[in-house]
Amino acid sequence: MLNEQHYFEQGVDLATYMSNMATLKNDSYRVYNAFDLPEDPEFIEAVKRANIHILVITEDWCGDAMMNNAILRNIAEAAELDVRCVMRDQYIELMDAYLTNGSRSIPLYLFLNEAGEVIGQWGPRAPELQAFVMAKWALLPPKTDDEFSMKQRELFMTLSEEYASNEQFWQYVYEDLRTTLLNIL
């Protein structure tokens, strides 16, 4: 397996990734353009000084990635961070090194220092969003139920719309990313 720095070097920058999205592109830009990055010069300066770069494991069909990547892009632009994206399904060996509770959950952000070593990670969701999603999942019928697939699709559509429009969700993501970054710097 390549190391994370090699994957980073093979990745595409976050702006290019977003412009090339085949699905959820409009919603991702909706979040990117509407999210007001809080005035937080101490945080932005701390991130700049740390001289980190970020490897994102993502896919453009993922609602969490659609929202989180747009918020990360706002932070990265303010802090002049180099963020590169690789596709989860093309780099299974990388993804499998960073499973979330045994699952290939995305997006996953790997924070790399100047030497290319992983110094921290974040993803796939802020804790408040995880609780929200788990509560919604609990309402689904059992997988053996004839209506499960339909109800699951409806849930995905509902979540995508919430992610694209709920400014409180965006704040949860920002605050959790901020906390994670400050803890590793």
Instruction: Centre a 10 Å sphere on the Cβ of residue 28 and count the other Cβ atoms it contains.
Output: 25
β 118-122/53-58 pair status: unpaired
Examine the pLDDT at 151 and tell me if it is beyond 90. yes
Q: Are 33 and 67 in contact (CB under 8 A)?
A: no
Q: How far apart are the first and last CA of the chain?
A: 27
Examine the pLDDT at 1 and tell me if it is beyond 80. no
Percent of the chain with pLDDT over 70: 99
Burial 169-179 (b: 16+ CB within 10 A, else e): bbbbbbebbbe
CA gap 13, 25 in Å, rounded: 15
Q: Which domain holds residue 129?
A: 4-184
Alpha helix positions (H), the chain:
4-10, 14-19, 25-34, 41-50, 63-79, 92-96, 127-138, 148-165, 167-184
113-136 pLDDT per residue, tens: 999 999 999 999 999 999 999 999
Domains in the chain, number: 1
Residue 90 identity (one-letter amino acid): Q
Residue given tokens 């019928």 in the structure block: 141
Sequence-separated (6 or more) residues with CB below 8 Å from residue 47: 75, 79, 81, 181, 185
Percent of the chain with pLDDT over 90: 99
Q: At what angle do helices 41-50 and 63-79 cross, to 10 degrees?
A: 90
Q: Are 47 and 119 in contact (CB under 8 A)?
A: no
63-93 pLDDT per residue, tens: 999 999 999 999 999 999 999 999 999 999 9
The pLDDT of 12-25, averaged and rounded, is 97
CATH number where 115 lies: 3.40.30.10
Predicted confidence at residue 2, as pLDDT, reads 83
Q: List the structure tokens of 176.
A: 């959790």
